[in-house]
Amino acid sequence: MQIVILDTLEQVAEYGAARFIDLLAKKPDAALGLATGSTPIQLYKTLIRHFEQGDVSFRDARTFNLDEYLGLSGDHPQSYRHFMNTQLFDHIDIDRSQTRVPDGAAEDPLAACDAYEDAIREAGGIDLQLLGIGRNGHIGFNEPSSSLASRTRVKTLTPDTVKANQRFFKPDEFQPNLAMTMGIGTIMEARQILLLATGEGKAEAVREAVEGPVAARCPASILQMHPRATLVLDREAAQGLRDVAFYEYIERENQRLLGRLK
């Protein structure tokens, strides 16, 4: 794992955006795995700014989102399709027909999950998968105890996750406790993984993911088994890590080496 520790949310977002911009410069039709939640919002704002400045185009890109609530149609204000449209797709030159979010309103959700797996395979797999991390270490909606080899499927959300996401729903509004999510096995097939985490609320999950054992009780810990996983953290999210000085030393050496190779 590459651990990048930065001072501010803006720097985390800028670092993440640069990874997408570099990839799209090399591979304009890259398949991008996208995430939702509050953490990626600043990254999407940064990508929009770079698009407006002419630094990046999404014209030929394809996207696959990690997850969607089961029971919400794409035009529901709390659906992840609506989130992605308003936070990113409405503001860049992507072909909307090339953006895929699991279909939370599918008649047959199980068949829709299988079709999602097929669509990712037909696209040639995901080049860069963006992740956030839940306070309990979940990625996508793969909650603790999820199989580390799981595929896209319907998952029951833990009460903690429902509570953490309650902030997006009105008090009397239906809040799903089921979701369709890319599985951990699906996520791990992405050629590159970029996990962003900010705020002290993620410190415990980050510590478990980075310095704990690979274990289903912390789904994000599986990233220790990925050949190209990068975690970009602010200092609050990194505060539980034991070896911060070492991660910062490695990153400085990384940047020095890259500087020599360019």
Ligand X SMILES: N[C@@H]1[C@@H](O)[C@H](O)[C@@H](COP(=O)(O)O)O[C@@H]1O
Q: Nearest approach, Cβ of 39 to ligand X (angstroms)?
A: 3
Amino acid at 41: I
Q: How far is CA 206 from CA 134, 195, 236, 238, in A?
A: 9, 10, 10, 7
Return d(Cα 82, Cα 74) in angstroms, integer. 6
Q: Nearest approach, Cβ of 156 to ligand X (angstroms)?
A: 13
User: Looking at 17, 23, 35, 237, which residue binds ligand X (CB under 6 A)?
Assistant: 35
User: Looking at 38, 86, 156, 166, which residue binds ligand X (CB under 6 A)?
Assistant: 38
Q: Nearest approach, Cβ of 87 to ligand X (angstroms)?
A: 12
Taking CB under 6 A as the rule, does residue 39 contact ligand X? yes
User: Looking at 46, 99, 146, 161, which residue binds ligand X (CB under 6 A)?
Assistant: 161
Taking CB under 6 A as the rule, does residue 37 contact ligand X? yes
Taking CB under 6 A as the rule, does residue 67 contact ligand X? yes
Nearer to ligand X, 8 or 255 (CB): 8
Opening angle at CA 126, ends 123 and 129, nearest 5: 150
Q: How far is CA 153 from CA 20, 66, 114, 166, 198, in A?
A: 27, 11, 8, 22, 28
Q: Catalytic residue at 248?
A: no
Q: Nearest approach, Cβ of 83 to ligand X (angstroms)?
A: 10
Q: Nearest approach, Cβ of 33 to ligand X (angstroms)?
A: 11
Rounded to the nearest 10°, the torsion over CA 211, 206, 82, 96 is -40
Return d(Cα 148, Cα 162) in angstroms, integer. 22
Q: Which of 65, 103, 127, 138 is catalytic?
A: 138
Q: Catalytic residue at 138?
A: yes
Nearer to ligand X, 64 or 141 (CB): 141
Nearer to ligand X, 37 or 176 (CB): 37
List Cβ neighbours of 163 (8 Å cut-off, separation of 6 or more): none
Hey, what are 110's tokens? 């199980």
Amino acid at 130: L
User: Looking at 9, 66, 88, 184, which residue binds ligand X (CB under 6 A)?
Assistant: 66
Q: Catalytic residue at 136?
A: yes
Of 42-50, 129-137, 148-156, 249-257, which part binds ligand X (CB under 6 A)?
129-137
Q: Which of 67, 68, 103, 127 is catalytic?
A: 67
Taking CB under 6 A as the rule, does residue 133 contact ligand X? yes
| Cross-strand partners of 33 | 64, 129
Return d(Cα 72, Cα 61) in angstroms, integer. 26
Q: Which of 68, 103, 136, 142 is catalytic?
A: 136
C-beta contacts of 241-249 below 8 A and 24+ residues apart: 241/3, 241/206, 241/207, 241/210, 241/211, 242/207, 242/211, 243/211, 244/5, 247/3, 247/4, 247/5, 248/5
Nearer to ligand X, 26 or 167 (CB): 167
Q: Which residues bind ligand X (CB under 6 A)?
A: 35-39, 66-67, 132-134, 140-141, 161, 165
Catalytic residue numbers, as ranges: 67, 136, 138, 143
